[in-house]
């Protein structure tokens, strides 16, 4: 073998081996500190400074910050985190960099407003974000709709919700549904019916698969909540009539003259506990249900809850 | 264009191609195809926005870097290699040399931008599966980017005509950054009083204003660009590039090359 070939061979082998060794060491180091600190730090928190530093390429920076917000929320949501401290600042930076990035308002609100673990539990920040979006995109009726949605769903503020829907109904080409919603809010109509209308409208007015899935989950949970409430009322009636609790679901069904054993949207029969409580058989199937959950029930965390 | 200028321009273009300047297209293609494939998986509903924003930003930044790093060496390299003396010993005027170099570099950037534009439209088709009428607005953004390049090429040549390559790079890049903040400088001038106001206003008009050329974000949202802005940006770029090129010619004409 010529000396030059020998050098090439040794240098090539060294290159491959060192690359493999450095990757192995890095992998072991990552195992020592599973949660990198980078995700939890905002080196620059001022939207104005970041906008200046982007040298006019703020559209690309907005996309980068939006992706970071999605990743941050997705990661923490996946592990049932209890806090989302960086979410609001990330969304604020994103929308200041590109005030017309509508997706950041629409999804951002649904990330911020719901209570943990489904969201950050910051409806006030969601409202601020939406008002900023409306200020910059006054002709987009969906933003008014989302604003009203937060007021109704998270804050139960019917007056503000009605105002938001009313404002949106005046926008050119607004969906006629906004006028109906404004009236509905003003009348404080039946809670389930209104919520069902809102989620159905959300389902119909979006092209996004994830929003559609989310709406379907909420509609399923609404049906469960309503079923549980009706069955619980039936148990109370039974108790008032007979002076005791029904011994089984079959006895309750017979006493109430129901068509058959009531089942949840997945086809599982509801459970009647000896204490007279109606419960869902598999609570994890309905993450948004608020009724019929066993006492002390917590969603099963995949790993451990982030704080 | 006279034939001598055309020859110098074509030689400058060939030299840039020989220097493997167009290799940046490979990096660009990788960047864009990677973004087009990956963003859909790690973000929500911004695939098209990212392709437009990233594609046009990369076209702009790659071009600015090429304009500065090639432009600063156009004169000094010829002096260093002593090829300038061979050129000037022929019936070629010094201004023709400068103007030829400018067109050669501008041509290189236009060709580079053309291939990048093909890449941007290709990636756009990949994520959208179709073209819509509003996509034609991307051509306006590309046109503005080329106008920006003309100014930067002229500035790089201006600095190259009297300074070392390193200092020329520093000057040209600083001016590019300042040019991106030109609107702020003008706002500052508006708030200042007395002498500071005159000074800031003078500086705001002297440095190039690149902010008006950057329509990438609005085009990504399919917002139309006013015809008046296209006309005025064209005129501004032509006037500013001519000014910087005239400065380069003036300096180079009086430079002692012995």
User: Distance between CA A279 and CA A299 in Å, rounded?
Assistant: 15
Single out the residue of A282, A252, A284, A251 nearest to residue A264, CA to CA: A282
For residue B222, list chain A residues with Cβ-Cβ distance below 8 A: none
Single out the residue of A240, A225, A237, A242 nearest to residue A278, CA to CA: A225
User: Distance between CA A285 and CA A265 in Å, rounded?
Assistant: 10
Handedness of CA A33, A37, A38, A40 (dihedral sign): positive
Q: Does A55 touch chain B (CB under 8 A)?
A: yes
For residue A142, list chain B residues with Cβ-Cβ distance below 8 A: none
pLDDT tier for residue A40 given thresholds of 50, 70 and 90: low
Q: Does B44 touch chain A (CB under 8 A)?
A: yes
CB contact under 8 A, B216 and A71: no
For the segment A201-206, the average pLDDT, to the nearest whole number, is: 78
Q: State how far the alpha carbon of B121 is from the alpha carbons of A270, B55, B67, in Å.
A: 55, 9, 23
For residue A210, list chain B residues with Cβ-Cβ distance below 8 A: 44
User: Distance between CA A251 and CA A267 in Å, rounded?
Assistant: 20
pLDDT tier for residue A129 given thresholds of 50, 70 and 90: very high
User: Distance between CA B201 and CA B74 in Å, rounded?
Assistant: 32
For residue B216, list chain A residues with Cβ-Cβ distance below 8 A: 57, 59-60
For residue A58, list chain B residues with Cβ-Cβ distance below 8 A: 217
User: Distance between CA A240 and CA A235 in Å, rounded?
Assistant: 9
User: Distance between CA B2 and CA B7 in Å, rounded?
Assistant: 9
User: Distance between CA A289 and CA A297 in Å, rounded?
Assistant: 12
Single out the residue of A124, A111, A100 nearest to residue A68, CA to CA: A111
pTM: 0.75
ipTM surpasses 0.85: no
* Nearest-CA distance A104 → chain B (Å): 9
What residue has token string 């400065």? B247
For residue A101, list chain B residues with Cβ-Cβ distance below 8 A: 46, 49
Interface test with A, best of B41, B44, B175, B183 (most A CBs within 10 A): B44
Residue pair B33/B123 in contact by the 8 Å Cβ criterion: yes
Q: State how far the alpha carbon of A210 is from the alpha carbons of A204, A207, A217, B48, B94, in Å.
A: 13, 9, 11, 18, 65
R_g of chain A computed on alpha carbons: 26
CB contact under 8 A, B221 and A210: no
Of A58, A103, A208, the CB nearest to B217: A58
Q: Does B1 touch chain A (CB under 8 A)?
A: no
Question: Nearest 5°: CA angle at A180, between A176 and A181?
Answer: 110
Q: Does A60 touch chain B (CB under 8 A)?
A: yes
Q: Does A39 touch chain B (CB under 8 A)?
A: no
Residues in CB range of B195: below 8 A, 6 or more apart: none
Q: Does A210 touch chain B (CB under 8 A)?
A: yes
Q: What is the pLDDT of residues A206-255, one digit of tens each?
A: 777 777 887 888 889 889 988 998 899 999 998 888 888 898 888 888 88
Omega into A117 within 30° of 0, i.e. cis? yes
Of B53, B177, B184, the CB nearest to A63: B53
Tokens of B217: 């974000």
For residue B221, list chain A residues with Cβ-Cβ distance below 8 A: 100
Closest chain B residue by Cα to residue A57: B57
Interface test with A, best of B217, B218, B221, B223 (most A CBs within 10 A): B217
Q: What is the pLDDT of residues A101-112, one digit of tens each?
A: 999 998 999 899
Single out the residue of B138, B80, B131, B95 nearest to residue B4, CA to CA: B95
Q: Does A57 touch chain B (CB under 8 A)?
A: yes
Three-state SS letters, chain A: CCHHHHHHHHHHHHHHHHHHHHHHHHHHHHHHCCCCCHHHCCCCCCHHHHHHHCCCCHHHHHHHHHHHHHHHHHHHHHCCCCCCCCHHHHHHHHHHHCCCCHHHHHHHHHHHCCCCCCCCCCHHHHHHHHHHHHHHCCCCHHHHHHHHHHHHHCCCCHHHHHHHHHHHHCCCCCCCHHHHHHHHHHHCCCHHHHHHHHHHHHHHCCCCHHHHHHHHHHHHHHHHHHHHHHHHHHHHHHHHHHCCCCCCHHHHHHHHCCCCCCECCCCCECEECCCCCEECCCHHHCCCCCCCCCCCCCCCCCCCCCC
Handedness of CA A88, B216, B51, B109 (dihedral sign): negative
Closest chain B residue by Cα to residue A101: B221
Q: What angle do helix axes A177-187 and A141-153 make, rounded to 10 degrees?
A: 20
Closest chain A residue by Cα to residue B181: A55
CB contact under 8 A, A57 and B57: yes
- The one-digit pLDDT tens for each residue of chain B (258 residues) are 688 889 899 988 988 888 777 777 778 877 877 777 777 677 777 888 888 988 899 889 888 988 898 888 888 888 887 888 888 888 888 889 999 999 999 999 999 899 989 988 998 898 888 888 889 999 999 999 999 999 999 999 999 888 888 898 999 999 999 888 887 888 888 888 888 888 888 888 888 988 888 899 889 888 889 999 999 999 999 999 999 999 999 998 888 776
Whether the predicted pLDDT of A158 surpasses 90: no
Of B50, B180, B214, the CB nearest to A63: B50
Q: Does B184 touch chain A (CB under 8 A)?
A: yes
Measured torsion, CA atoms of residues B223, B226, B227, B233, in degrees rounded to the nearest 10: -100
Q: Does B221 touch chain A (CB under 8 A)?
A: yes
Whether the predicted pLDDT of A38 surpasses 70: no
Residue A207 CA from chain centroid, whole number: 17
Q: Does B209 touch chain A (CB under 8 A)?
A: no
Closest chain A residue by Cα to residue B220: A59
CB contact under 8 A, B44 and A59: no
Residues in CB range of A241: below 8 A, 6 or more apart: A255
User: Distance between CA A53 and CA A47 in Å, rounded?
Assistant: 10
* Nearest-CA distance A60 → chain B (Å): 5
Give the A:B interface size as CB pairs under 8 Å: 63
Q: Does B175 touch chain A (CB under 8 A)?
A: no
User: How many other CB atoms are found less than 10 A from the CB of residue B68?
Assistant: 24
User: Distance between CA A103 and CA A109 in Å, rounded?
Assistant: 10
Whether the predicted pLDDT of A290 surpasses 60: yes
Closest chain A residue by Cα to residue B214: A56
């Amino acid at each position: 073998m010529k000396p030059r070939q020998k050098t090439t061979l040794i240098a090539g082998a060294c290159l491959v081996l060192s690359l493999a060794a450095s990757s192995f060491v890095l992998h072991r180091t990552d195992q020592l500190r599973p949660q990198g600190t980078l995700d939890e730090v905002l080196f620059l928190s001022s939207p104005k400074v970041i906008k200046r530093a982007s040298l006019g390429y703020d559209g690309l920076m907005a996309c980068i910050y939006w992706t970071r917000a999605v990743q941050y929320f997705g990661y923490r949501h996946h592990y049932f985190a209890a806090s989302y401290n960086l979410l609001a600042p990330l969304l604020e930076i994103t929308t200041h960099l590109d005030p017309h990035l509508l997706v950041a308002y629409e999804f951002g609100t649904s990330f911020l407003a719901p209570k943990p673990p489904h969201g950050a539990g910051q409806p006030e920040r969601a409202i601020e974000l939406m008002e900023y979006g409306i200020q910059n995109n006054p002709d987009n009726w969906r933003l008014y709709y989302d604003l009203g949605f937060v007021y109704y769903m998270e804050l139960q503020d019917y007056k503000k919700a009605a105002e938001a829907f009313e404002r949106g109904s005046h926008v050119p080409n607004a969906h006629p549904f906004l006028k109906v919603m404004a009236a509905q809010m003003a009348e404080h109509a039946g809670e389930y019916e209104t919520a069902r209308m809102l989620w159905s409208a959300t389902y119909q007015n979006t092209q996004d698969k994830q929003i559609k899935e989310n709406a379907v989950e909420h509609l399923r949970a609404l049906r469960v909540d309503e079923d549980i409430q009706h069955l619980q009322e039936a148990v109370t009636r039974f108790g008032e009539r007979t002076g005791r609790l029904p011994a089984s679901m079959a006895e309750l069904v017979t006493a109430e003259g129901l068509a058959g054993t009531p089942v949840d949207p997945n086809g599982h029969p509801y459970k009647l506990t000896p204490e007279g409580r109606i419960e869902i058989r598999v609570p994890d199937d309905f993450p948004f249900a608020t009724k019929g959950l066993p006492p002390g029930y917590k969603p099963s965390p995949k790993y451990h809850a982030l704080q | 264009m006279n034939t001598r200028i055309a020859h110098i321009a074509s030689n400058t273009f060939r030299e840039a191609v020989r220097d493997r300047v167009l290799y940046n297209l490979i990096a660009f293609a990788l960047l864009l195809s990677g973004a087009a494939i990956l963003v859909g998986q790690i973000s929500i509903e911004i695939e098209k926005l990212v392709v437009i924003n990233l594609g046009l930003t990369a076209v702009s930044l790659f071009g600015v870097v090429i304009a500065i790093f090639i432009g600063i060496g156009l004169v000094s390299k010829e002096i260093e290699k002593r090829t300038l003396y061979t050129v000037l010993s022929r019936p070629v005027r010094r201004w023709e040399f400068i103007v030829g170099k400018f067109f050669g570099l501008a041509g290189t950037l236009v060709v580079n931008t053309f291939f990048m534009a093909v890449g941007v439209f290709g990636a756009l088709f990949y994520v959208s599966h179709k073209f819509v009428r509003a996509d034609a607005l991307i051509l306006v953004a590309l046109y503005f980017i080329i106008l920006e390049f003309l100014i930067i090429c002229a500035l790089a040549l201006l600095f190259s005509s009297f300074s070392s390559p390193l200092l020329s790079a520093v000057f040209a890049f600083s001016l590019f950054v300042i040019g991106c903040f030109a609107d702020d400088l003008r706002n500052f001038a508006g708030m200042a009083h007395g002498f500071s106001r005159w000074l800031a206003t003078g500086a705001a008009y002297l440095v190039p204003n690149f902010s008006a050329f950057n329509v990438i974000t609005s085009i990504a949202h399919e917002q139309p660009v006013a015809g008046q802005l296209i006309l005025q940006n064209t005129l501004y770029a032509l006037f500013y590039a001519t000014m910087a090129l005239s400065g380069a010619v003036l300096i180079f004409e009086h430079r002692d090359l012995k």
